[in-house]
Amino acid sequence: MANESRPCPCDIGDRFDYGGRGQEVQVEHIKAYVCKASASTDKAVIVIHDIFGWQLPNTRYIADMLAANGYIAICPDFFVGQEAWNLSNDWASFDDWLKTRSAGKIDKEVDVILKYLREQCGAKKIGVIGFCWGGAAVQHLMLKNPHLKTGVSLYGVIKFFEDRCSLLHPTFFIFGEKDDIIPLEQVTLLEQKLKQNCKVDYEVKVYPGQTHGFVHRKREDINPQDKPYIEEGRKDMINWLNKYL
Which position among 49, 169, 212, 216 bears the catalytic label?
212
Which position among 77, 132, 165, 236 bears the catalytic label?
132
Which position among 50, 64, 77, 179 bears the catalytic label?
179
Angle ∠(149,132,24) on CA atoms, nearest 5: 70
Of 103, 83, 98, 80, nearest in space to 8 by CA: 98
Task: Tell me if residue 169 is catalytic.
Answer: no
Task: Tell me if residue 49 is catalytic.
Answer: no
What are all long-range contacts of 13-17, with beta carbons under 8 Å and residues at least 24 apart? Answer: 13/211, 13/213, 13/214, 13/216, 13/217, 13/218, 13/219, 14/217, 14/218, 14/219, 14/222, 15/56, 15/57, 15/58, 15/217, 16/57, 16/58, 16/61, 16/219, 17/57
Task: Tell me if residue 10 is catalytic.
Answer: no
Catalytic residues: 132, 179, 212
